Structure 1
Amino acid sequence: MSESVFVGLCEIVGTSQQVALRRETQDIREMVDRRATSNDETSEMLSGSEREGFRLKGSDVDIMFWQNNHRVIMDMSQSEYYNTANTTLILSDSSESPPGFTLLQLLTPTTTEEVHSACVRMNARVYISSSIYRRLTCSAVFPNSTVHGPCGSGNIAGRLEYDTAFCFVCDFWPSSASSWIDRCHSWPDPEVVHDIVRNGCHFVAMGHPLGPNENVAWRISFSLAEYKLVYSMNHSQFLTYGLLKLFLKEVINHQLEETNKLLCSYHMKTTVFWAIQQNTLPHWRHQNLLAGFWVCFKLLLKWVSEGVCPNFFIPQNNMFLTKVYGPAQNRLFLQLHELYKKGLACLLQSSSIRSYIINVLYNPRLFICTDERLMRSEVDLDRELVNETSYIGAIRTNSHNKYIHIIEQLVESTLTHYQAVMLQRITAFIFQSISFILHNEYIHTGVNKQMYIADKLSCHMLKLAAKFGCISDMLYIAMYYYKTLRYREALSVIEMTKVKLAQPYLMYRHVDRERYTEAVGGQPCFTKMRQAVARNITLENRICYISELIPEQQSALQIREPTLFIPVFVMLHFLEFLCHRHIDMTLSQAAVDELQVLVHHDQGMYIYDLSRDISWEILGICQQITGNLQAALYSYQQSLTQHPMNRIQTATQRRIHDMVQSTPHQ
């Protein structure tokens, strides 16, 4: 039966190859961003299940943010490692806090408004209040977020839930977690332990409900250590962790309403950590996957019975203390004990796993292929790789040379296949951004020689980006030609792009699996990307690409949205319309007509529903330019009814207002 569950979990959680793909692409993305981040900027880190390599339906995205120029130290002697002229020092004072929690004392002045506003005075010292800081930063990334634990929480379009936590970073391992280092005999390996300890910890804005200073205290976060521990699991251990997450969501939390909030995914993770480290199961492999699950389930049952869930790094921190106690604890124990009495048959209550178990129960001689290489087709892996490498984010301000230097360093380093693909994608995006930045900088100098050199360099970088990018990257060349008034050259690039996008094996939103395999199957990833893959067009809002979209970019920037995401076919018709306006009005109108058909009638084939706001907006811009004001007004109104993914509503409302004001009244 374990083999069947192994196959099922590989289908749901991912094969080891898929999990490696997700982790490695995220790692290289974060590595580039971290190296490009200056001391006075904010760092960010994906954490939680997404970072660990899960892509489970309904999972939220957890992101941690911290200011690089604010550092927490554990004792005053560590202050010698920092230049206090450009670094704000904060002292962790855990003398009067419960295990796993601390007060943060501000030692040197801060120039950050949120930190300054969150300061409170206690016992003649200045401390940073976690509750005030949490409230001030709650909606810093996504407007209208609500406080949830130490995070700002919400959802995008009612589907993607997120948690953003603004925290403080510490380069040192907390002394309260020193016992963890001594426990690591069998797992994880010494080099993993060293790496974890060397990278320190974070402090998130959450005090202990039973502590003396709940509103001021902070919780020590081991998120960085945790994902490194999950990385160090073998795939069977990782699948066991995934099975526990599914069991919690689909079985435990479906029993009684009064107990379905007592346990969380973090408890499941802690259970797996302890079970692996205590060597409860000598060999973790897919043949005894269910044995691993049962070991963890029994440990969880024991903890609920005792009302003690020891934090993996600081065991004195009982994570059940404020939730799993009293009558609720008794009800939860009885509930889990009923499941325990059913044995492994309790997994039949899991909607995800049930079918895989039933197949074996009713057909014990059923042959089950457990070769991971045969579980996922080439097309499936390519689609996942395209998805994982699609999002880059905005590049750091004024860091062109730094990015190029980082890329040079990484290209010469040892990279995995997936890291190399991600680095190619990042490099293409950086070259595209720098090309437009260079043009925007030198166009205003009026110095012909400088403008000529900048133009040659921009064109060269855009062509390079298209060479190791994908089909849609050619449109950045067309955008640049349009911006520099080379309309015929732009249209030539657009025509070439059209031909490539019309190929029956194109991978964009959807893919014809047979034709794709026939056309590019077995080819290097580099070749597949260039010949068969298209992505949405990403525009950084700090950079002017097309003057007609400046209002939309400014609108998004007002609420800290760094990028616009535009469907590739929408951008294709938009550019075609803009260029033909200067050459052939008939063809210009034909481009608008094609765009109108696409926006009005597409059923998700070419326009993702979260990008319909910008799609309607661009159609409205084209219609307004042609003088079809009634159609433009309708398109702008439609844009306002879509999910505000691109944060362009202010621009849309301004366009409607200006158009109504300029229309002669009858």
Structure 2
Amino acid sequence: MLRMAKASEGKSESLDFYKYLCQKIGSEKVVKIRRLVSTVRDIGQNGKVITSGSKGEGLDLNGSDVDMMYVDPYGKVYQTETEVQSQIYPLPLIMNTEETQPCFTQLLILNHDIKTTPNVLQKHHRGFMLSSELYKLSCKNVAQVSIPALFSGKIHGPCISNKEDTLDIAWCFKCDKWIFQAEPWVCRPRTTWPPPEIISKIVSSGVLIVPIGCKGSTNEHLEWRISFSVAEKFLIFSFSHTQLLCYAMFKVLLKEVVEKYQNLKGLFCSYFLKTLMFWILEETDPYLWRPDNIIPCFMACLQRLLYCVRYSILSHYFIPENNLFLLRFNTNNKEKIINILENLYGIGIDCFASSETLQEYQRLSYKISESFISRNSSFLQQVMLIFRNAYTNGRAARVLRLMYNFLNSSRTVLSRFVFVLEISEASMYFSEETQYLNSAGNKHHYFRYKHDLSYLVIGLHSDAVSGLLKLASFFYVHKKYIASLTVITHTLQKFTNEKIDIRFFRYTKKLSHIQKYVLSLMKKEKLYTIIKSLTIHPFGFGKESSIIPRELQPDVTRIYSSFHPLSFAYFLNFLCYYHLHDLTSCRQSLQRLRQSQWILSEGGTIVCQPESVNTVIFCGIAHQLLGETYNARLTFREADGLDKYNLTSAASRLSSLI
């Protein structure tokens, strides 16, 4: 009877802790939304981009960076020369694993015409090899020119990272076939996980080849690592929610507890924990992984990690011949890690007491029933991540890909909802790619006008403001000033206190009192309706956009330039009245534009960001158009002083007036 009471008590504690984890790490539905968001994003990129790492897996833990893999379309990897059907495009790369450790390969250039890639090749006794080291340097140079976020990028393992270490991008090549080294994995004995359908998907997905060699190898600079990132996503997506939460607990323990100890940072990595979870799940009964058993499950995982460290053995999941812990530890840090893990195991779930993410458990009661407000706040936070990347090239093709997948792959209400949002957001940029003919009465011109207008109307369904502003700018560019003013007036009515600005919400993850109140009034509405009517997306234009006002073309010189939507609305209002020769309304719009600067201020001082500097530039352009050269000069000088990194047109506009 006593044992039954203790068992019941243990189940109760596990259930409480499970509910607590669902709030702190994410409920099953929130995880599903995160995964849908990243999957739809990847679909829109036609298989060239793969979201990996924690965010791609459906987790959003403290300190998690964004991991992206770009599949280089200019090369394709084959295991043997006999597999190559064409030697022209993409460039055939032949794997050479005879001189490398398990999980690594060299890439031999089969095509002997090396004129197109001489800067990344090195002569080898077997021919010309693609150097992983030179390839990364080449990718870094490209990133610094084409991707502003990586302008000060640095090489981190196989990736190019930004200065803040919040974004890792790995350029890689793809091998469409399952490699010989991993063939035994397909048919090795296992319990019930992974199921046959997942194994089939994994085998058909092939592997990626990333630019990093085996540490300490004499040919490290020529070697590439075989990456199973796509396969690993399939496996993690097959986790039950209890299993995923245990994996997340592992990551929290590593980052927020173990790595706080001196000289241990970087000794472990998330990949080790993921590998350990794969082995454990393959060997255990799925029935054990229940919410009411989550604490014993996690403690068993911790015990397994302790065993692996003690005996310096952690086999790669797909290629077990590769021991990930071989020569990983020296005598000192190994003993230190063992002592730490033993102590953490000894105190049970209290091992999270010093972690930032899970430290509150012992202080709070978690007989949790999530409120509508907190639930929708969580959902909003995840869905809004769809729009964190403001602009990418090829939106026209992307819309078509999304439409195709929406019609053929969308089977649930949630997936349809995410697809519709992404299609609407992508449609806003569709018309930017159109180049109109100069002939005013041209039939093609009229057709493109109606065609682009239809996509901009679709874009209205993505948020409350930015879609409308795109439409207003479209009308302005086509000299339909009255139509533009009508849309602007409607847009300005949307700028109310309950609107949620995605940019700020993404960082604060908090709602104001009025936003919470409005959400409570909309509790019966679908999440799609809430997103459409309450959110404001980042606003801007891509380089060479066909719908940007000509007065702003000097300000759009990069891949994407952002503007504050409210100040842009007042500026466009000014431009329309200017061309209608209504000077009184022009000055009223300029006055409102000046007032809008305070929305972008902190304590009365404008924040030195491109958006806020561009607001000052708007005022300078307005003064210049009105013939007020002195005021224009003063305003451009103010903007130039704020633009510390020369990201705007302030300096050039000022010099043109001196």
Same fold (TM over 0.5): yes
When the two chains are superposed, the root-mean-square deviation of aligned CA atoms in Å is 2.8
1:405 is displaced (CA, Å) by 6.5
1:506 partnered with 2:496: no
Q: Which residue of 2 aligns with 1:88?
A: 91
Tell me, what secondary structure is at the counterpart of 1:307?
A: coil
Relative distance call for 1:258 and 1:525 in structure 2 (3 A) is closer
Given the alignment, which residue of 342, 358, 361 partners 2:347?
A: 342
Question: In terms of mean alpha carbon deviation, does 347-356 or 124-133 score higher?
Answer: 347-356
1:445 is displaced (CA, Å) by 4.1
Q: Which residue of 1 aligns with 2:632?
A: 629
1:97 partnered with 2:94: no
Percentage of pairs with the same residue: 23
Question: In terms of mean alpha carbon deviation, does 528-537 or 117-126 score higher?
Answer: 528-537
Measured in 2, the distance between the counterparts of 1:163 and 1:110 equals 32
Tell me, what secondary structure is at the counterpart of 2:194?
A: coil
Q: Which residue of 1 aligns with 2:40?
A: 28
Measured in 2, the distance between the counterparts of 1:93 and 1:190 equals 30
1:92 is displaced (CA, Å) by 0.9
Q: Which residue of 2 aligns with 1:152?
A: 160
Relative distance call for 1:332 and 1:408 in structure 2 (3 A) is closer
Q: Which residue of 2 aligns with 1:306?
A: 311
Contact residue 202 and residue 231 of structure 2 kept, 8 A? yes
Contact residue 208 and residue 219 of structure 1 kept, 8 A? yes
Structure 1 gap segments, 5+ residues each: 36-42, 360-365, 557-561
Contact residue 577 and residue 622 of structure 1 kept, 8 A? no
Q: Which residue of 2 aligns with 1:363?
A: none
1:522 is displaced (CA, Å) by 1.4
Measured in 2, the distance between the counterparts of 1:320 and 1:501 equals 56
Contact residue 33 and residue 383 of structure 2 kept, 8 A? no
Relative distance call for 1:469 and 1:177 in structure 2 (3 A) is same
Relative distance call for 1:291 and 1:109 in structure 2 (3 A) is farther
Contact residue 592 and residue 623 of structure 1 kept, 8 A? no
Measured in 1, the distance between the counterparts of 2:459 and 2:531 equals 12
1:650 is displaced (CA, Å) by 6.1
Q: Which residue of 1 aligns with 2:485?
A: 491
1:122 is displaced (CA, Å) by 1.1
Q: Within 5 Å, give how 1:198-213 maps onto structure 2.
A: 198-213=204-219
1:59 aligned partner, one-letter code: S
Q: Which residue of 2 aligns with 1:559?
A: none
Measured in 2, the distance between the counterparts of 1:139 and 1:148 equals 14
1:218 is displaced (CA, Å) by 0.7
1:447 is displaced (CA, Å) by 4.4
Tell me, what secondary structure is at the counterpart of 2:105?
A: strand
Given the alignment, which residue of 201, 220, 223 partners 2:226?
A: 220
Measured in 1, the distance between the counterparts of 2:192 and 2:81 equals 34
1:585 partnered with 2:586: no
Relative distance call for 1:177 and 1:540 in structure 2 (3 A) is same
State the 4+ residue runs in structure 1 displaced beyond 6 angstroms. none
Deviation by residue 1:202-237 (Cα, 9 ceiling, x = unmatched):
111111123231111111111111122111101111
1:57 partnered with 2:69: no
Q: Which residue of 2 aligns with 1:547?
A: 550
Deviation by residue 1:418-459 (Cα, 9 ceiling, x = unmatched):
332332233234433333433x323x2454333223223332
Q: Which residue of 1 aligns with 2:436?
A: 441
Q: Within 5 Å, give how 1:160-179 maps onto structure 2.
A: 161-179=166-184
Q: Which residue of 1 aligns with 2:7?
A: none
Tell me, what secondary structure is at the counterpart of 1:319?
A: coil
Q: Which residue of 1 aligns with 2:325?
A: 320
1:171 is displaced (CA, Å) by 0.5
Contact residue 395 and residue 430 of structure 1 kept, 8 A? no
Deviation by residue 1:38-75 (Cα, 9 ceiling, x = unmatched):
xxxxx222111111111122111111112224110112
Relative distance call for 1:542 and 1:270 in structure 2 (3 A) is farther
Tell me, what secondary structure is at the counterpart of 1:354?
A: coil
Tell me, what secondary structure is at the counterpart of 1:490?
A: helix
Q: Which residue of 1 aligns with 2:473?
A: 479
Contact residue 29 and residue 423 of structure 1 kept, 8 A? no
Q: Which residue of 2 aligns with 1:38?
A: none
Q: Which residue of 2 aligns with 1:12?
A: 24
1:403 is displaced (CA, Å) by 3.8
Contact residue 247 and residue 277 of structure 2 kept, 8 A? yes
Relative distance call for 1:101 and 1:402 in structure 2 (3 A) is closer
Q: Which residue of 1 aligns with 2:444?
A: 450
1:594 partnered with 2:599: no
1:575 aligned partner, one-letter code: L
2:500 aligned partner, one-letter code: M
2:137 aligned partner, one-letter code: R
Q: Which residue of 2 aligns with 1:465?
A: 459
Deviation by residue 1:506-537 (Cα, 9 ceiling, x = unmatched):
23345523432254331233433443332121
Q: Within 5 Å, give how 1:100-139 maps onto structure 2.
A: 100-108=103-111, 115-139=117-141
Measured in 1, the distance between the counterparts of 2:649 and 2:215 equals 44
Measured in 2, the distance between the counterparts of 1:394 and 1:110 equals 36
1:623 aligned partner, one-letter code: G
Question: In terms of mean alpha carbon deviation, does 241-250 or 104-113 score higher?
Answer: 104-113
1:258 is displaced (CA, Å) by 1.6
1:185 is displaced (CA, Å) by 4.3
Contact residue 471 and residue 497 of structure 1 kept, 8 A? yes
Q: Within 5 Å, give how 1:570-581 maps onto structure 2.
A: 570-581=567-578
Question: In terms of mean alpha carbon deviation, does 458-467 or 298-307 score higher?
Answer: 458-467
2:490 aligned partner, one-letter code: M
1:3 is displaced (CA, Å) by 2.6
2:452 aligned partner, one-letter code: S
Q: Which residue of 2 aligns with 1:410?
A: 406
1:631 is displaced (CA, Å) by 3.8
Contact residue 97 and residue 212 of structure 1 kept, 8 A? no
Deviation by residue 1:112-154 (Cα, 9 ceiling, x = unmatched):
95x4311111114111111111122124331221111111122
Relative distance call for 1:518 and 1:244 in structure 2 (3 A) is closer
Measured in 2, the distance between the counterparts of 1:396 and 1:613 equals 21
Contact residue 434 and residue 458 of structure 1 kept, 8 A? yes
Measured in 2, the distance between the counterparts of 1:423 and 1:111 equals 42
Tell me, what secondary structure is at the counterpart of 1:59?
A: coil
Normalised to the residue count of structure 1, the TM-score between the two structures is 0.86
Measured in 1, the distance between the counterparts of 2:552 and 2:210 equals 38
Q: Which residue of 2 aligns with 1:46?
A: 51
Measured in 2, the distance between the counterparts of 1:653 and 1:75 equals 56
Deviation by residue 1:300-351 (Cα, 9 ceiling, x = unmatched):
1111111122111112212223432333223322332233333433232323
Tell me, what secondary structure is at the counterpart of 2:44?
A: helix
Q: Which residue of 2 aligns with 1:425?
A: 421
Q: Within 5 Å, give how 1:170-189 maps onto structure 2.
A: 170-183=175-188, 184-189=190-195
Deviation by residue 1:357-401 (Cα, 9 ceiling, x = unmatched):
344xxxxxx6613x6x6587353145225412324554544x746
Relative distance call for 1:413 and 1:303 in structure 2 (3 A) is closer
1:231 partnered with 2:237: yes
Given the alignment, which residue of 292, 296, 319 partners 1:287?
A: 292
Relative distance call for 1:243 and 1:536 in structure 2 (3 A) is same
1:585 aligned partner, one-letter code: L
1:249 is displaced (CA, Å) by 1.3
Q: Which residue of 2 aligns with 1:195?
A: 201
Contact residue 68 and residue 168 of structure 2 kept, 8 A? yes
Q: Which residue of 1 aligns with 2:384?
A: 387
1:469 is displaced (CA, Å) by 5.1
Tell me, what secondary structure is at the counterpart of 1:34?
A: coil
Contact residue 536 and residue 565 of structure 1 kept, 8 A? yes
